[in-house]
Structure 1
Amino acid sequence: MGRIDYLHDPDAPPANSVVPSVVAFVQNDAGHVLVIQRSDNGRWALPGGGHDLGESISDTVVREVREETGIDVEVVDLSGIYTDPGHVMRYDDGEVRQQFSLCFRARPIGGDLRTSSETTQVRWVPPTELPTLDVHPTMRLRIGHAMERGRSSPYIG
């Protein structure tokens, strides 16, 4: 299913849903960051997805990272809460979702890189390579906050 992100765009369609979701900033011992290339829009992003009934939010992080990348993780901390009503995502099925995302920092504890139906590529990249990737501005914001998280309190906005 395709997805188009709108950020403070006056021509954006009105939201018709809100779904809590997570993204995970995962860094390995070499300092490289786990990123995916999304199959729905081709952009690079942190792995993540929607929260399911019956699971804790940290379980959502672990499940989504494993599903999208093949990597098993342990949640370390929360780096930010993102609820900008000016950021909506339109899906092919007619859903227009208002952003509600929690970004967690996590560390890898096992698994092997692999793609999924939601990813066309999965890679560990050095932080210096992140600026060269096609990353949505809202995802770039999450990455920046997660990289700074060790020196500050979580971002809430």
Structure 2
Amino acid sequence: MRRHDVVAEETVEFTEYDTRLAAYAVVSDGEHILLTWFNGSTPSWTLPGGGVEFHESVEEAVVREVREETGYEVELDAPLTTHSFTRPAGDGRRPVKSVRVLFGARVVGGELGTTEVGGTTDFAAWVPLDEVPLDAPTPEIVRLAVEHVRSGRGA
């Protein structure tokens, strides 16, 4: 058995796990928030965004992901917050630490419509803030985004 399969999480060194870096946009008009429908293992609303490719900056990745998943061109504001979680090793995989950066953003062009083909996003929509389902299985990043919008701290 490999070392990372048997040790406690707090003793796993950075060389013993994989990191997934992702970036997401918080786009809101104050009453609605732009969300995308994730069709993966647990379908749910999520923020437009996703994994940062090796050759991209975090900012380039979120702009690309928003365009693919929503049809919109966006201009980014400063990062709002970060969120991370871990997934333990299993089924021959190393442990993973996922790091997500949430940016405030505003639409500067394009029109609503998913252009991603064969991806994990089926469609995007402007969802009223009061109708965002904040119960499970809504991802934590959606809760954080709604909190930022409602507090006036983001998007």
* TM-score of the two chains, using structure 2 as the length reference: 0.71
Unaligned runs of at least 5 residues, structure 1: 1-13, 153-157
- Deviation of residue 58 (structure 1)? 1.3
In structure 2, the residue matched to 1:125 is 127
- Contact 1:80 1:145 survives alignment (8 Å): no
Root-mean-square deviation over aligned CA pairs: 3.2
- Contact 2:35 2:48 survives alignment (8 Å): yes
In structure 2, the residue matched to 1:31 is 31
- Contact 1:24 1:46 survives alignment (8 Å): yes
- Deviation of residue 24 (structure 1)? 1.0
Distance 1:84 1:144 in 2: 19
In structure 2, the residue matched to 1:47 is 48
- Contact 1:80 1:146 survives alignment (8 Å): no
Is 1:22 aligned to 2:23, yes or no? yes
- Contact 1:19 1:97 survives alignment (8 Å): yes
Unaligned runs of at least 5 residues, structure 2: 1-11
Question: Pick from 141, 144, 157: which aligns with 2:143?
Answer: 141
- Deviation of residue 132 (structure 1)? 6.5
Alignment of 1:1-157 (within 5 A): 16-28=17-29, 31-40=31-40, 41-85=42-86, 88=87, 97-115=96-114, 116=116, 117-131=119-133, 135-147=137-149, 150-151=152-153
User: Structure 1 residues 46, 83: CA separation in 2 closer, same or farther (over 3 Å shift)?
Assistant: same
* 1:36 maps to amino acid: T
